[in-house]
């Protein structure tokens, strides 16, 4: 298998897939084992059975996102393989959003608020995953907008989250959300341009994903260990 995309007119994806920047996929290749290690520590330190299982969900979703992204973006699999991995890659973003909120919600919220937030994020993730599986050629702006909206749904629960943990968790969530949103906007606008040779808009998006994940990972640690 080659790591250089062949320039064929029948390729099903954008021209950026025919001219991959040098760093394409490397950010998430590095992030995959680091996220696994961080999540394993969180699972071990989780003080209750509920927060421990919620942390396992977070660990699985994080590892799936970074590892699948690394595999998809580092190697050219051919048209059929690319289509399968692209569906998985885009679907994993929805899983990560829901997976990140799971331990924070379990640790910080109770009763109706907990049920509502978990239902919204996992229901929204399910709808988003179905969209990416069955509508792979959807306009870039459409699924990017859904990522952003689902990611910010917890804004309606920030005060209860702060009451259940502390305001540091809230500020880290907001900061991570801002970084994620900036990356998503650059991804939707496709800037820097598709012919960037080293670091293009996709790499900027991946970098923002890693930074946003790190901020929210710290928030998750604080929330879970305070439970």
pLDDT at 217: 97
Does 4 fall in a domain? no
Alpha-helical (H) ranges within 11-77 are 26-45, 49-74
Does 3 fall in a domain? no
Does 219 fall in a domain? yes
Residue 73 annotated as binding site:
yes
pLDDT in tens, 34-45: 999 999 999 999
Does 121 fall in a domain? yes
pLDDT at 122: 97
What string of pLDDT tens digits covers the 227 residues of the chain?
444 444 333 444 444 455 677 678 788 889 999 999 999 999 999 999 999 999 999 999 999 999 999 998 888 778 888 888 889 989 999 999 999 999 999 999 999 999 999 999 999 999 999 999 998 888 888 888 999 999 999 999 999 999 999 999 999 999 999 999 999 998 888 876 666 777 788 888 899 999 999 999 999 999 999 98
Longest dimension (CA), the chain: 56
pTM, two decimal places = 0.86
Write the DSSP string, 95-150.
Answer: HHHHHHHHHHHHHH--HHHHHHHHHHHHHHHHHHHHHHHH-TT--HHHHHHHHHHH
pLDDT at 226: 92
Domain coverage including residue 170: 17-225
pLDDT at 5: 42
Does 94 fall in a domain? yes
Distance CA 215, CA 207 (A): 13
**CATH number, position 123:** 1.20.1070
Does 11 fall in a domain? no
The number of domains in the chain is 1
Does 157 fall in a domain? yes
Does 10 fall in a domain? no
Mean pLDDT of the chain: 88
pLDDT in tens, 82-127: 888 889 989 999 999 999 999 999 999 999 999 999 999 999 999 9
């Amino acid at each position: 298998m080659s790591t250089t995309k062949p320039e064929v007119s029948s390729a099903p994806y954008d021209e950026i897939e025919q001219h991959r920047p040098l760093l394409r996929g490397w950010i998430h290749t590095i992030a995959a084992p680091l996220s696994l290690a961080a999540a394993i520590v969180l699972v071990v330190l989780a003080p209750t059975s509920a927060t421990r299982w919620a942390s396992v969900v977070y660990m699985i979703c994080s590892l799936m996102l970074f590892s699948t992204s690394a595999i998809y973006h580092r190697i050219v699999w051919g048209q059929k393989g690319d289509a399968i991995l692209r569906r998985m890659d885009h679907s994993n973003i929805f899983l990560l959003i829901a997976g990140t909120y799971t331990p924070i919600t379990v640790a910080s919220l109770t009763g109706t608020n907990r049920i509502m937030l978990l239902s919204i994020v996992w229901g929204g993730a399910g709808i988003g995953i179905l969209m990416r599986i069955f509508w792979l050629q959807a306009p870039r702006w459409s699924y990017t907008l859904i990522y952003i909206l689902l990611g910010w749904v917890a804004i309606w629960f920030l005060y209860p989250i702060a009451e259940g943990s502390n305001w540091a968790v809230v500020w880290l969530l907001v900061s991570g959300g801002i970084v994620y949103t900036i990356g998503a906007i650059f991804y939707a606008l496709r800037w820097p341009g598709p012919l960037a040779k080293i670091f293009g808009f996709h790499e900027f998006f991946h970098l923002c994903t890693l930074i946003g994940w790190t901020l929210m990972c710290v928030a998750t640690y604080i929330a879970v260990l305070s439970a």
